[in-house]
A and B are shown apart, each in its own frame.
Chain A
Amino acid sequence: MKKFLKKNYSKLIIYLIIIIFSTIMIFPVIWSFSQSLKIIGLFFEYPFRFIPHPVAWENYPGAWHVGIGHWLNNSLFITIISVIISTFFATLTGYVFAKFNFRFKNIYFVVILATMMIPWHLIIIPLYEMVVKTKLVNTYTGLIIPFTLSAFGIFLMRQFITIIPDELIDAARVDGASEIRIFLQLIIPLSLPAMATLAIFNFMGTWEEFFWPLVAGNADRVKVVSVGMAGFVTAKIIDYNYQIAGAVISVLPVLILFIFLQRFITKGFMLSGIKG
């Protein structure tokens, strides 16, 4: 009996800590959603009310007109195109590393992994020079190019494709399938779960990229949502309600992905973990 009590007592403390911690973590989320629905006059009201009164739905169209709609379009376009390209090429490259032998294989793989350690800003100045010289500055192409492949993606896909039995590939070769067909019609269908996981990670990464679009896509026509919002809030305007509504709109696509596809994300953590 005593032991039972002691055990439950410690469980209770664990739950208590977790609840307190989760509350602190979730507070800014709830705060931002509720602020996004307050009229500007009540933005700094005290006591703070979680449920706004009156509810200012007009903040959302308001923020939309500031430019969010346009920036969101640009973000979606750039992100979706680069996710498609980078997921495809990461699968292709991961497949080569998993199932083929070629000269300098190990050195090349180490070089690729090493790029994960190289800080992004180290290549940004030359990259900027490159897009300026090729007239790709302030174009979608220029904004997409750096995100058309990732070391993490190659690593993840290699991990996954290694598990696919060689016999399957050899059997297809015996049947006379070309190497390209084997990749497109055997490897890709078998890798779809991992590709989905990678696509989500790529989406999140590209969506929140800030430095590169700030540097190479600062023109209104191609501005993405992170750059647009940063410009809006640092312009010393006091439309706090629009700022918050804009921030909320800007996270919604990823938030929605998160809520519906959490299964894949959790799998990504398992897949990329320690076992390599």
Chain B
Amino acid sequence: MRLIDEMSGIMQMRSWRWAMVAVAATAILSVGCKPAGEAGGTTPAANPTAEAGGTPTAAVRPAVTAKGNEAAGDTIKLGIVGSMGGDLRPWGVDSVDGAKLAVKEFNELGGLNGKKVELLVEDSNSRPEQGKSAAEKLIQDGAIGVMGEVASGITIQIAQSAFDKGIPVVAIGATRDDISDVGNNFFRVCYTDSFQGPVMAKFAFDELSLKNIALMTDKSQPYSTGLSDSFRKKFEALGGTIADEQFYQSKETQFGGQLTNLKAKNPDGIFLSGYFTEVGQIARQAREAGIKATFLGGDGWDSQKLLTIGGDAILGGFFCNHYNNTEARPEVKSFMDKWSKEYGNTPGTTMGALGYDAATLMLDALKRATAANSAALIVALEDTTDFKSVTGSITLKGRNGNPAKRALVVEVKKPTGQVARKSYEFDQVMQ
């Protein structure tokens, strides 16, 4: 009490106010620093960073210990977490539509020996904590397997909850590598950032002869920070230089400051590793600021809104995507047919096909599983070899849940929005 007495008396004095400001500033600055050691505690796995996320890593994933769910009665329940609200809505809705299509198709073809599959849908509202409770609700409602999500930040929470309960997760569009380290119940149908970044690096270096690239990273999105990292590593390994890295946060609208900093380093390309909402605006403002560099990015660009937001500025940019609606492969053609028959349009984003793939993979594993329960499903998923999906061939066996998918680099062009330019098989890029 006395201490506060004196302190309050002192507070009236000017000099002490200055001192307080100084102390507070130092405190804030030191908190903002990275600690000397490893930034610990974000993931429970022993080795959170996976250098070569797609290839089998030396670290063995923790095995599931919980019992999981068992399909009871005549219906088998599968769950899907989708962002039906919030910023990720276009992707979430597409992914759920794709999964619904796959389940409907499966049931129409007879289901699993006559047993129908019921797809339970929960909304994550584009938020990680809601995704977590959505997954938990699905598990509680009896789903023996869960699909989702499209964003890494949400998916890691789903994977964690599912691991605790022994349920397999098939991720749809989450590309961040360290999610696989959560446990051996986690699988995905998409490629990982440790592949996507190098693909773009190789494309930029080999195809576009860009040598000096700047990075614009969305610091508030784990997807973006991971992607920028893997791009940087590969690009520097190929012999290119990274001119500068600037950061922004999702929902920011003014990038003038960061762009002015970037421009001074004279990059010939700018890697925009974030999501399309900000990427579009950054492109616009960059062109207004007189930056003539080529824009590059990852699958976060994939949205019809990119053209609206980015306007003319984003045309001629290149990004890495999972597949393209116009591909000549039979799987793509039949998928497009089925989709337009069911929904009367074409899928707006690649998440439609990826959602479909996640569901068909899960259903295929269900057929191969020895029993209709979570544990058997995990084993069957792990055993997947050369599963022919819309977005490419998926092999999960021995790969820690990360398939060696191929990537397609597309150019942003009107009117379709994307024109396929170059495809990269996994082994071409990851040696």
Indicate, yes or no, whether A interacts with B: no
Instruction: Show the binding face of B for A, using Cβ within 8 Å.
Output: none
